Amino acid sequence: MLTIWMGWTPMVYISDYNLVKTAFTAKDNALMGRVRSGFALAQIGKHQDILQTDYGSVWASLRRVSHSAVRKVAVSEKLHELVADVVDSSAQTMKRTHPLGAPFDPKCYLYHSVMAILASTAFGKRYQLDDKELAFYGESLEFMQSRTSLLAAIDRIPLLRLIPKYGNYERKVFETARDVTNSCKQQYMAHRKTHSSGVVNDFCDALIEAKEKAIESDGRDGKDSRDGGDNAEAFNDDNLSLVIKNLFAAGTDTTQYTLQWIVLLMANNTEMQIQMRDEIESVIGDRVATSDDKNSCHFVNAFIAETMRYRGVAPIAVTHRAMTDTTIDKYCIEKNTLIISNLWAIHMDPNVWPNPDVFDPKRFVTRDGSFRAKMPGFAPFGIGRRVCLGEKLALADLFLITVRLLQSTNECVFALPAGDGSALE
């Protein structure tokens, strides 16, 4: 553990897996708060969501119904068909645009594929890669993500707002955030008008369904938030619209950047890539992969997991805030101290991972060749009660996209111009 002062705000970095786990699973939930930044307030206004809201009954209720909705969407047959359709389209465009043997950067194809899959998963509409609405979500989220460091600086040094350049940047980001929020709410409200009980076509439907079941269950059992039930007031239209926005914000960049690393590492290790292709051919063939296939593609899963450990796209998790005075181990933590879990250090800890600088998917494979899903010290989606909401959907997307990408390019191999091992020299 170490403390860094950002202006007048103390920030405690924790780089030990067990210490982070102890801190973020404590029964008193003292470290389950969020940073009260200007950007966070601009994102949610007077409402509450899962990403920016402090731990409490509203957050817990939103988390429960959202997690239920994510799980339902992550295993749906519609997701399997959607991913196959989008990836096939992208692969055909890649092959048509770039002749075999000619170097090219697949970044834009991966990014637009992920955006199309996430937007279609959320709203049920099949988006073409050149769709204007899809472009709006992609450009807006990319713009906000690219300005996060600048906004953090403005929050810490408010005088920067007096400089036109920085003040204008902040206003533009806030306007963009409101536009995305309003669009998500419009989509959600349209679903509310047409939703039929028991029919789940997308995340909006799944969220409405989970909300209704939670309210019905608590009403039947006579529970409320004081005795373990859900806080019905949490399920207003504004809060649930923000949850949809959370899914976009949490899923877009992390999934597409992880996919970029998967493709690069496959090209950097062609023997491993061929092993993945052989496993897919043996287990799945050329049919559309399903969630059940995930249990049989052990090396594919191991490759994806090792990619997330070796080149995790979130080296530090979303910052926590101490909501009361508390302790971590033998250290006193004052109220409003910011707590940051250093996932990069945890994933590169030689006491947990032998030769951590070596890319080796076999560390996730048992002696009998099975995938080891739960490894001590493996935490690409965070640790504790505030682990990433979209974890199960992200894992499903990564598996389905990777498999379909390899299926749709079975006549060739991803390779680097300078050969194996040259990417990370």
The whole-number pLDDT of residue 255 equals 93
The whole-number pLDDT of residue 159 equals 87
More confident residue, 347 or 210: 347
Does the structure show a pLDDT above 70 at 224?
no
Mean of the pLDDT values across residues 52-59? 91
* Lowest-pLDDT choice from 136-150, 207-221, 322-336: 207-221
Does the structure show a pLDDT above 80 at 231?
no
The whole-number pLDDT of residue 222 equals 55
- What class does CATH assign to 2-407? mainly alpha
The whole-number pLDDT of residue 227 equals 43
8 Å CB contact between 53 and 34: yes
388 is in an annotated binding site: yes
Predicted confidence (pLDDT) per residue in 8-41, tens digit: 788 999 999 999 999 999 889 999 999 877 777 7
> Checking DSSP bridges between strand 326-328 and strand 331-333, what pairing results, if any?
antiparallel
Predicted confidence (pLDDT) per residue in 100-142, tens digit: 888 999 999 999 999 999 999 999 999 887 889 999 998 998 8
* Lowest-pLDDT choice from 84-98, 138-152, 362-376: 138-152
Predicted confidence (pLDDT) per residue in 415-424, tens digit: 998 888 777 7
8 Å CB contact between 74 and 291: yes
Predicted confidence (pLDDT) per residue in 254-284, tens digit: 899 999 999 999 999 999 999 999 999 999 9
- C-alpha pair distances (Å), 183 with each of 133, 136, 238: 10, 10, 12
* Lowest-pLDDT choice from 40-54, 176-190, 193-207: 40-54
The whole-number pLDDT of residue 45 equals 79
* Lowest-pLDDT choice from 24-38, 84-98, 197-211, 225-239: 225-239
In terms of pTM, does the model score above 0.85?
A: yes
H or E segment at 282? Answer: helix 270-283
The whole-number pLDDT of residue 424 equals 72
Query: Distance between CA atoms of 17 and 189, rounded to whole angstroms?
Result: 41
In whole numbers, what is the pLDDT of the chain averaged over residues? 90
CB burial of residue 334 (10 Å; 0-12, 13-18, 19+) = exposed
- The residue among 4, 235, 15, 248 whose CA lies nearest residue 118 is 248
The whole-number pLDDT of residue 226 equals 44
Residues 6+ away with beta carbon under 8 Å from 232: 61, 215, 218, 224
Cβ density class 142-155: b for 16+ within 10 Å, e for less: eebeebeebbbebb
